[in-house]
């Protein structure tokens, strides 16, 4: 029953309006990384923040639609990976439900979860569409070396993808969590559209006004 709570689709008007905002944060997060010439994608901050803030459905839909819009405008290759982004946002929501956003240990779990979902989720698509490559020069160089050394293709493909996802999802999760924990308490409460596994009302109870 507890787990089902997080999975139940609770999308009121606030959730509906939040999704495009998370999509915009995905885009802006990536644009800022590009303008600062950082060697990372950082195109999922909105997805993960949406999941942490408002639960699996907001995060999942934000991730899914970000990829769809991106593939219809600037990057058609992103289209098949919409499912991975959906799973990523969904996973972030589940992590929030389990309370991972609020403790340092939980932060690590969240990073690892995002990393695993992104890398394991993307690899089958890389194998089917890209002959196992990830499209990133560094990762593909690793792939080339491993395959040349007779490693199985699917392992090489995974390590190729993981090499890019590990730092990217680390920074993505860190930024999302920093922002989340830096938000005023009432916003965290307002946007919590799921029922958490543990009672959080004590932690967010506002002090009485004098």
CA distance 139 to 162: 8
Largest CA distance in the chain: 71
Is residue 19 a contact point for another protein (CB under 8 A)?
A: yes
Rounded Cα–Cα distance for residues 173 and 30 (Å): 14
Note whether 197 and 2 are within 8 A (CB). yes
Torsion of CA 201, 87, 15, 48, to 10 degrees: 60
Q: Does 35 bind another protein (CB under 8 A)?
A: yes
* 86, 61 contact by CB (below 8 A): yes
Residue from 1, 73, 104, 199 binding another protein (CB under 8 A): 73
Cβ(72)–Cβ(171) below 8 Å? no
> Binding marks (x or -) toward another protein, 76..95, rule CB under 8 A?
xx-x----------------
* Binder of another protein out of 4, 37, 104, 199 (CB under 8 A): 37
Stretch binding another protein (CB under 8 A), from 86-94, 96-104, 107-115, 143-151: 143-151
Query: Which chain residues interact with another protein by CB under 8 A?
Result: 11, 13-14, 16-21, 23-25, 27-29, 31-33, 35-39, 42, 45, 49, 61, 65, 69, 71-73, 75-77, 79, 128-131, 133, 135, 137, 140-141, 143-145, 147-148, 150, 153, 175, 178-179, 182-183, 187, 189-191, 201, 204-206, 208-209
């Amino acid at each position: 029953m507890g787990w089902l709570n997080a999975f139940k689709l609770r999308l009121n008007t606030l959730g509906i309006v939040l999704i495009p905002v998370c999509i915009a944060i995905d885009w802006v997060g990536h644009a800022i990384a590009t303008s600062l010439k950082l060697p990372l994608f950082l195109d999922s901050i909105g997805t993960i923040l949406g999941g942490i803030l408002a639960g699996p459905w907001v995060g999942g839909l934000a991730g899914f639609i970000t990829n769809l819009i991106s593939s219809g405008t600037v990057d058609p290759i992103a289209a098949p990976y919409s499912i991975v982004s959906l799973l990523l946002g969904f996973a972030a929501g589940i992590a929030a439900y389990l309370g991972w956003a609020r403790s340092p240990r939980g932060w690590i779990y969240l990073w690892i979860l995002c990393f695993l979902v992104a890398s394991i989720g993307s690899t089958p698509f890389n194998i089917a569409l890209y002959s196992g490559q990830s499209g990133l020069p560094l990762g593909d160089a690793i792939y080339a070396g491993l395959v040349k050394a007779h490693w199985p293709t699917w392992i090489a493909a995974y390590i190729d993808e993981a090499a890019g996802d590990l730092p990217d999802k680390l920074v993505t999760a860190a930024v999302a969590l920093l922002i989340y924990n830096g938000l005023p308490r009432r916003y965290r409460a307002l946007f919590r559209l799921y029922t958490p596994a543990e009672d959080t009302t004590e932690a967010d109870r506002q002090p009485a006004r004098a």
